[in-house]
A and B are shown apart, each in its own frame.
Chain A
Amino acid sequence: MKNTILSIENVALKIPGVEKNILSEINYQVEENDFIVILGSNGSGKSSLLKLLNHHYQPTSGKILFNSHTIKTLTQNCHESLFTSLTVLENCYLYSSDRKKNPNYFAEYIKKFNPNLELKLNQKVEKLSGGEKQALALALCVLHPPKILLLDEHTSALDPKSAQKLMVLTQEVVAQHKITCLLTTHDLDIALNYGNRILALRNGKILQIIDDKNSNLNQDSLLAACY
């Protein structure tokens, strides 16, 4: 039996100046090593839910129970997770707490995420392509693997091919390091092809919870969550 590492209990979120609740009546439990896809259209509250989980917001009512786990977030704007005017190697040094690690270690580590990055260790991050930046941001996020990884539409700024590559990479990394992952998306294909559980949101409320994609899958309901 898996351990529950995060429990969301009857959570509501209201932001000053906004009339209606951003989130309401959210009850959900995250278990260890889950890969949960939070599906919803723009304004459904999926990013706000992640912001609640990384303490950016505090719930208006209800509670979120954590064990003392490390949480890292990667958003669609990878610039938030990178030092863009520094080189790839300098970013690695700043993320690494081990001062003894040398460039060869980082070259080996980073090429698993994108082979091009190995050749661009001394290049400024701002000169990398979008796909390379997101791969680097993911690599740095899991350099010291967190217990929980929050991915807020981290592939949305990429072309379909790069997005697919990054999703496959994300799945591999999450499985390899036994990271519990919550990923937001408005793409039904991502929800169906990656992760083991789906949480569909609409207008700030839970529309559908799918714990086993093979048994109780209601695609029409999921499709409704995307639009």
Chain B
Amino acid sequence: MSNLIFSVMTQSLTFLPLSLAISISYSILRATDMTLDGSFVLGAGVFARLITQGCSPPLAGIIALFSGASCGMMVSLIQRGGKVDPLLAGILAYFILVSANLAVMGKPNINLLSQTTLLSSAFSISELTGWSVVACYSIAICIVTCLAINSRFGLILRGLGDNPALLQRLGKNIETYRLAGFAFTNLLSAASGCLTAQTVGYADIGMGFGMTLTGIGAIILGQQILRFFIKKSAPRIVFEFTACLIGVFIYFLAINGLLRLDINPVYLKMVLGMILILFLRTAVNPNLSRNVT
């Protein structure tokens, strides 16, 4: 049992920045940004390629993050001026990124097991030390994200998701804020990809497939559970991010639980999808938002 919990926690830690990105994109910017799938792989791919080329791990990490941010800028520029539907823009950007990721990586899979990464020295001491460092990275990313969303910049992003026309009338350049918002979420996604590549020991072209939709499902699942327990009013940002934590943990618990029940891996995503559909169906209850301010 403790093995199961440990495994779930470690998987959740690397997924956490991506889930925050999905939460900001879905709940705050009110956009289903499919690019997050692509920038997750790009973050992992750029980091792995640079490491194998002899680049220093910190520099490779920074470049990987900014490559993710550039994906966000790309999707924002595609939908600039409302000429392309946001969902379609995300799908198109993801479509482009499939090729771009392959071009960056040079091959579908890059092995990192024999390379020096940001985490390799910590993992060489012990697995627990390694995961503690991963936890530090994830927590630091969470704190920075919370501070950003609680700042005036975050408030404007929330205003942008709520009523872009009014925000524009108030003199804010909504295209600039949209660009910054998507760059930020895709940077988080790339950070998640970067962490995942280092913990699993490879970057793979297919590792981001379906991540965004899975993440949205996990977040909704977390929100459902949190709303069941929270009886008093809770600040929105705290609620959204706690829902992320819970949702991601439950999601990986479900995956690991199903695998331990010897479910054929072929049917794993189908079963998970059905569970998520159940939660999505129950999410369309307006009373569920009563406790969030």
Contact = CB atoms under 8 A, between A and B. Distances in A.
A80 interface: yes
A123 B158 CA distance: 15
Contacts of B167: 83, 94
A94 B155 contact: yes
B149 to A, nearest CB: 12
Contacts of B158: 83, 85-86, 90
Given A95-B170, A123-B293, A86 B159 contact: yes
Interface in A64-113: 79-87, 90, 93-95, 99
Interface residues of B, number: 15
A124 B155 CA distance: 14
A85 B293 CA distance: 8
Contact of B166 (A81, A99, A123): A81
A103 B166 CA distance: 22
A84 B163 CA distance: 8
B152 interface: yes
A79 B166 CA distance: 10
A79 B156 CA distance: 17
Given A95-B170, A122-B293, A90 B155 contact: yes
B162 A85 contact: yes
Contacts of B233: 122
B152 A93 contact: yes
Given A90-B155, A93-B152, A95-B170, A83 B293 contact: no
B293 A82 contact: no
Interface in B123-156: 152, 155-156
B171 to A, nearest CB: 8
Interface in B83-117: none
B62 interface: no
Contacts of A90: 155, 158-159
B156 A94 contact: yes
**How many A residues are at the interface, by size bracket?**
10 to 19
A93 B155 contact: yes
Contacts of A86: 155, 158-159, 162
Interface in B165-185: 165-167, 170
A82 B163 contact: yes
Contacts of B165: 80
Contacts of B170: 94-95
A213 to B, nearest CB: 33
A8 B163 CA distance: 31
Contact of A124 (B152, B159, B163, B293): B293
A122 B234 CA distance: 10
B166 A80 contact: yes
Given A94-B170, A122-B293, A123-B293, A83 B163 contact: yes
B159 A94 contact: yes
Interface in A105-140: 122-124
A86 B159 CA distance: 7
Interface in B181-225: none
A95 B166 CA distance: 10
Contacts of A87: 293
A135 B192 CA distance: 45
Given A83-B158, A124-B293, 7 more contacts: A82-B163, A83-B166, A85-B158, A86-B159, A90-B158, A94-B170, A99-B152
Shortest 4 CB-CB contacts between residues of A and residues of B: A83-B162, A85-B162, A94-B159, A83-B159
